Amino acid sequence: MRSGWHKHSEVEVTHISNHGLWLLIGGKESFLSFENFPWFKKAPVSAILNVKLPNPHHLYWPDLDIDLAVESIEHPERFPLVAKPTPR
């Protein structure tokens, strides 16, 4: 049995704006800017809302096939690689 897992097992998208989205993870709210997390900018709202928290350190959006470490949201400066469009 995982002690304390229940308090971390909840994740919810609380708001989406033109600038990014807000996630509530285990009672803590975090902002994901589209500048730092561009994969979400043109994603359908229903796909953004379908987020899973398989463990306290990992988020997964199955409809978008996006995996993120919670640490990358809390400390984006530690994860400098950002997807960029391929030039044509």
Decide: helix, strand or coil at residue 75.
coil
* pTM for this prediction: 0.78
Say what the pLDDT of residue 6 is.
46
Residue 24: DSSP 8-state:
E
Q: Mean pLDDT of residues grouped by 10 in the chain (88 residues)?
A: 50 97 94 92 97 94 96 84 57
Nearest to 34 by CA among 24, 25, 22, 46: 22
**CATH match of 5-78 with 3.30.2020:** yes
Length of the chain: 88
